[in-house]
Structure 1
Amino acid sequence: MKNEHTGDGTAAGAAFGKRMITILGPTASGKTDLAAHLAARLGAEIISADSRQVYRGMDIGTGKDLADYTVEGHTVPYHLIDICEPGTKYNLFRYQQDFLDCYEDIRNRGVLPILCGGTGLYIEAVLKGYSLSPVPQNPGLRKALEDKSLEELTAMLVELKAKNHSVMHNKTDVDSCQRAIRAIEIETYNLTKPTEERQCPPIDSLIIGVDIDREARRRKITSRLKARLEEGMIAEIGGLLKRGIPAEDLIYYGLEYKFVTEHLIGKLSYDEMFRQLEIAIHQFAKRQMTWFRGMERRGFTIHWVNAAQKMEDKVEEIMNLW
């Protein structure tokens, strides 16, 4: 989704060596709110790096929090939110293409882009300039794999990755059989049919990480989950099922969509759903931080700001770095 830009980000975008600001952090760290306040200060536009906020109608469960993009009455323009239909399979290759289209459009208008999100694979792919190829579905392979357990699929994926010398797939995101089968499909295709790769230039970006205390993060995750359930998350996901989106497609998206769907189809009681989902979100946040720390080991410089600081202090700290 794109809103009309009213600020002037030319100076901010052109006067400095870095071509973009990236704000990353785990779920519940407040990164979107920070990015919006920074964008309002700089006349910038935000490009989302969230693998689930691309889907229309999946609002509460993905935590779009669109109100965060309005700062002191000004709506900060944002991109790559609400760009495809639920039930479809968005992927890294499409994200890289969509990101580059947005990035080049924003830069060509003399405006500063701010990349913001928690999907580490998407962020690293565009910053480092991964070269990717589109991979079609393989119905025969999918049929052969449909009865295998997640453990069996994961073992197959590890073996294929070793043969391909592949580091492209985020193993921590393979948390369902569908995701594992798609990963195997990609690795199998690349093993047998190498294709011309899409060349994507790396992007020089100032990278800001939002560092939230682990206990504070756990408290915020739990309170936010309760709030989203009260705001109608179950009804939202029930509405998607009523629209004819298969339960297995919603389960594929993981986290809220997986556990609430399993509750709605009778696999989990409400209490079981809440308890298992709460644990899964905590585990997800931990995996996000593991990915970001891994980025540092892979050569990225991340400047961490304390999530507990006042908003104006965080913005000022980033301005001083910028």
Structure 2
Amino acid sequence: MKYNLLTILGPTATGKTGLAAHVAAKINGEVISADSRQVYRGMDLGTGKDYGDYFVDGVEVPSHLVDIEAAGVHYNVYRFQTDFINVFGEIQGRNKFPVLCGGSGLYLEAVLKNYRLIEVPPNKELRKELEGKSLEELTEILKAMKPELHNDTDVETDRRAIRAIEIEKYYAEHPQEDSEMPNIQSLNIGIDFDRNIRRERITKRLKQRLDEGMLDEVQRLLDSGLTPEQLIYYGLEYKFLTLHLIGELSFDEMFSKLEIAIHQFAKRQMTWFRGMEKRGTKIHWVNGHLPMEEKVEEVIRLLKS
């Protein structure tokens, strides 16, 4: 097989986890979650942890990078890439096949494009030295350190340019800290639904999770000592349900605003995935309407091709 990773991606509410688990069960695999919020313990319904999806014919498919952090901690893409490298190696060491699954585009691309991610601390002396320089001057300094500027946002503002210079200086002084990403050869599968169907699935799932106790989950998190501000930071379900629980939104207002926000989020996810394709990542889109068995067969056929 020419691949050493299977990646299953797609916007929210498209059944990624179920497909990943079913394929993993067929190919002696284990699932690695690429979801920026499912890492948190106690944040289950709001992040869409469908634990039941990991069971295939009554047997649980092993999963990783779910429930690894306490709610309130700020997990980030650097941490994810580091954790992925470790888990990927462990799975291969057990002669299992890694299946990456998620909808967080930046997390997925950090693996598939091998982003160079190092946790760079602030350099107060350098910041003081650069203070007062114009954006043009800062841009020239950055170009001298990094001749090819692939990311124009690095020089959108003085603050961003200073941070970019700070990062490049740290890289130059600490080359040994470069992340050693394994050689990834991934088959990338996207789950495709018509936009209107996707919207219907999102609304149906939102109602289902509210019926299952999502409001109670958020209340438990507040009761555990997390502040409303901490929960609002996580956005979407946690933002709007918290605003309802603290009396700033009625239930109907909460539902309406949250429904719209999730639809917008799914649209942004698709925009990111299309951007990944433009940046050179090949994605094979599978019809989400197909029965599970047919989707699994299609994925395995592509893996073996």
TM > 0.5 fold call = yes
Offset of 1:192 from its aligned partner? 3.0
Give me the whole-angstrom Cα distance separating, in 2, the residues matched to 1:31 and 1:261: 27
Give me the whole-angstrom Cα distance separating, in 1, the residues matched to 2:76 and 2:224: 23
Q: 1:138 to 1:287 in 2, by over 3 A?
A: farther
State the match for 1:40 in structure 2.
25
For 2:31, what is the secondary structure of its paired residue? strand
C-alpha contact (below 8 Å) 1:129/1:199 kept by paired residues: no
Question: Which one of the candidate residues 217, 227, 230 is aligned to 1:249?
Answer: 230
Offset of 1:244 from its aligned partner? 0.7
Offset of 1:166 from its aligned partner? 6.4
Give me the whole-angstrom Cα distance separating, in 2, the residues matched to 1:228 and 1:294: 31
For 1:124, what is the secondary structure of its paired residue? helix
Give me the whole-angstrom Cα distance separating, in 1, the residues matched to 2:81 and 2:160: 16
Give me the whole-angstrom Cα distance separating, in 1, the residues matched to 2:223 and 2:150: 39
Q: 1:316 to 1:204 in 2, by over 3 A?
A: same
Cα RMSD after superposing both structures: 2.4
C-alpha contact (below 8 Å) 1:137/1:185 kept by paired residues: no
State the match for 2:129 in structure 1.
none
State the match for 2:127 in structure 1.
none
Give me the whole-angstrom Cα distance separating, in 2, the residues matched to 1:261 and 1:57: 15
For 2:32, what is the secondary structure of its paired residue? strand
State the match for 2:198 in structure 1.
217
Offset of 1:32 from its aligned partner? 0.7
State the match for 1:149 in structure 2.
none
Q: 1:168 to 1:89 in 2, by over 3 A?
A: farther
1:191 equivalenced with 2:165 (yes/no):
yes
Offset of 1:266 from its aligned partner? 1.5
Give the aligned length: 273
For 1:195, what is the secondary structure of its paired residue? helix
What stretches of structure 1 of length at least 5 have no aligned partner?
Answer: 1-15, 140-155, 170-183
Q: Which AA in structure 1 matches 2:71?
A: P
Question: Which one of the candidate residues 268, 283, 288 is aligned to 1:287?
Answer: 268
State the match for 2:118 in structure 1.
133
1:67 equivalenced with 2:42 (yes/no):
no
State the match for 2:68 in structure 1.
83
Q: Which AA in structure 2 matches 1:55?
A: Y
For 1:234, what is the secondary structure of its paired residue? helix
TM norm structure 2: 0.84
Q: 1:212 to 1:46 in 2, by over 3 A?
A: same
Stretches of 4+ moved more than 2 A in 1? 135-139, 163-169, 184-194, 196-202
Q: Which AA in structure 1 matches 2:300?
A: M
Q: 1:74 to 1:303 in 2, by over 3 A?
A: same
Larger radius of gyration: 2
State the match for 2:248 in structure 1.
267
Give me the whole-angstrom Cα distance separating, in 1, the residues matched to 2:181 and 2:13: 31
State the match for 2:14 in structure 1.
29
Q: 1:257 to 1:187 in 2, by over 3 A?
A: farther
For 1:18, what is the secondary structure of its paired residue? coil
What stretches of structure 2 of length at least 5 have no aligned partner?
Answer: 125-134, 144-148, 172-177
State the match for 2:300 in structure 1.
319
C-alpha contact (below 8 Å) 2:232/2:242 kept by paired residues: yes
Q: Which AA in structure 1 matches 2:224?
A: R
| Identity fraction in percent | 56
1:307 equivalenced with 2:291 (yes/no):
no
Give me the whole-angstrom Cα distance separating, in 1, the residues matched to 2:152 and 2:103: 17
State the match for 1:145 in structure 2.
none
Q: 1:168 to 1:70 in 2, by over 3 A?
A: farther
Offset of 1:269 from its aligned partner? 1.1
TM norm structure 1: 0.80
Question: Which one of the candidate residues 79, 94, 103 is aligned to 1:118?
Answer: 103
